[in-house]
Amino acid sequence: MQNSEIETKAAFDHIRYAQLWEDADVLTQGLGDCAGGTLVSICSAGDNALAMLVLDPKKVIVVDLSPAQIACLQLRIGAFRTLTHPEFLELMGARPSRRRRELLLKALAGLDGDTQQFWQGLSEEVAQYGAGGVGKFERYFRIFRTRLLPFVHSRKTIDAIFVSRPKPERQVFLDTRFNTWRWRLLLSTFFSRFVMGRMGRDKAFFDHVDGSPAQHVARRIRHAAVTCDPAMNPYLHWIMKGDHGEALPMTWRAEHFEVIRSRLDRIEIRPGSLEAFVSTGEKADGFNLSDIFEYMSPEVFRDVYGQILNASAPGARLVYWNMMAPRRVPEDFRNRVETLSEVETELKAIDKAFFYSDFVVEQVRA
């Protein structure tokens, strides 16, 4: 089996992302019409692979290097099968709950022994934060919210972020109430390379990143707080308040619950790297590539991109994000791929997961 460059650098024995911090609404729109097709998705916490079922594909092949991340998808599959939608939201942490231990047991009941054991070991944390709150990334946000944010903003100011108001008023709120010197100091410290590397993301992930993470985050906060309506942003709500408000990520919304539940058997989990999948000779009609290219050096990215093209059916779309490292179709493959700039522009403007600097939709020429 082919190894991935990042496999040798970072540890994958624990949950890094307990929920998916990439907006499935823009992912699914970016993938276009995939009915009846074969899709491939990076797993991460599993939410976006499940969201792809809404596109009515024949199957969604899910890959991930990390068994812990695969266990996040397994738990969701168990939860969709056995829980009601309100129970699902409680278990995941979107809503407050006093019965998460019980819901966890119910969701785990039909799953394999390893997955059961893995999650039972986390049951205390699940009870406290919800299954969507137990990853390293969410822990990082929790430290931010509980230990640092209170020194910068009152609860009243935090609550005021989520009051719906017209765009010009959002700009005034950000400039006069939110973007204080304390806030700017907090951002530049917390999002320094050193702290992010230590607490949030593995240091290896910054090997190929340009510019300061804090500057980047400040730009994206303007997008989330002014360009878009923060009252409709579940990601911002979780970061600032520790759960979701009225707005939920696509996979967790009631309107998709039954459709996803009825198509769970179309999920095919293949633990291992994307590089392993693309060397099988199978072809896919669409790829959710998360932001994995950022974890690769430009040379490895070029090689892997070429392999993905070889594993793509004509017309297949490659959808992915960049956080800080620029990654787009490498020069060598420009003639084989069309960048769907209009789709990108339209979707970037509504992307609620605001940490990313770029959202890419590329289509393999027929």
Ligand X SMILES: C[S@@+](CC[C@H](N)C(=O)[O-])C[C@H]1O[C@@H](n2cnc3c(N)ncnc32)[C@H](O)[C@@H]1O
Stretch that binds ligand X, among 58-66, 104-112, 189-197, 210-218 (CB under 6 A): 58-66
Stretch that binds ligand X, among 16-24, 99-107, 220-228, 254-262 (CB under 6 A): 16-24
140 near ligand X, rule: CB under 6 A: no
CB of residue 164 to ligand X, shortest distance in Å:
25
Token reading at 344: 């990108």
74 near ligand X, rule: CB under 6 A: no
Q: Give bridge partners of residue 287 from the DSSP assignment.
A: 40, 318
How far apart, in whole angstroms, are the C-alpha atoms of residue 273 and residue 61?
A: 12
Contact present, 77 and 260 (Cβ < 8 Å):
no
CB of residue 12 to ligand X, shortest distance in Å:
6
Q: Which residue lies nearer to ligand X by CB, 7 or 346? A: 7
What letter would DSSP give residue 179? Answer: S
Q: Which residue lies nearer to ligand X by CB, 21 or 80? A: 21
Looking at beta carbons, which residue is closest to ligand X?
21
4 near ligand X, rule: CB under 6 A: yes
Radius of gyration of the chain (CA): 20
How far apart, in whole angstroms, are the C-alpha atoms of residue 41 and residue 241?
A: 29
CB of residue 353 to ligand X, shortest distance in Å:
7
Q: How many binding residues for ligand X (CB under 6 A)?
A: 24
24 near ligand X, rule: CB under 6 A: no
22 near ligand X, rule: CB under 6 A: yes
How far apart, in whole angstroms, are the C-alpha atoms of residue 264 and residue 188?
A: 42
Contact present, 80 and 48 (Cβ < 8 Å):
no
Label residue 325 exposed, middle or buried (CB < 10 Å: 0-12, 13-18, 19+): buried
Q: Which residue lies nearer to ligand X by CB, 13 or 342? A: 13
Contact present, 83 and 257 (Cβ < 8 Å):
no
Torsion of CA 53, 32, 308, 359, to 10 degrees: -100
Member of 24, 40, 45, 92 binding ligand X (CB under 6 A): 45
209 near ligand X, rule: CB under 6 A: no
The site string for ligand X over 96-135 (x = CB under 6 A, - otherwise) reads: ----------------------------------------
Q: Which residue lies nearer to ligand X by CB, 4 or 28? A: 4
42 near ligand X, rule: CB under 6 A: yes
Member of 38, 233, 251, 273 binding ligand X (CB under 6 A): 273
Q: Which residue lies nearer to ligand X by CB, 275 or 285? A: 275
Q: Which residue lies nearer to ligand X by CB, 90 or 291? A: 291
Which 3 state secondary structure label does DSSP give 62? strand
Contact present, 354 and 224 (Cβ < 8 Å):
yes
CB of residue 17 to ligand X, shortest distance in Å:
4
CB of residue 165 to ligand X, shortest distance in Å:
28
The site string for ligand X over 290-319 (x = CB under 6 A, - otherwise) reads: xxx--x------------------------
CA nearest to 338, candidates 355, 315, 311, 305: 315
Q: How many CB atoms lie within 10 A of CB 32?
A: 18
What is the β-pairing status of strands 267-271 and 358-364? unpaired
DSSP secondary structure string for all residues of 30-51: HH---TT-EEEEE-TTSHHHHH
How far apart, in whole angstroms, are the C-alpha atoms of residue 356 and residue 324?
A: 7
Q: Which residue lies nearer to ligand X by CB, 47 or 87? A: 47
Q: Which residue lies nearer to ligand X by CB, 21 or 305? A: 21
Contact present, 87 and 103 (Cβ < 8 Å):
yes
What is the contact surface with ligand X in residues (CB under 6 A)?
A: 4, 6, 12, 16-17, 20-22, 42-45, 63-66, 69, 273-275, 290-292, 295
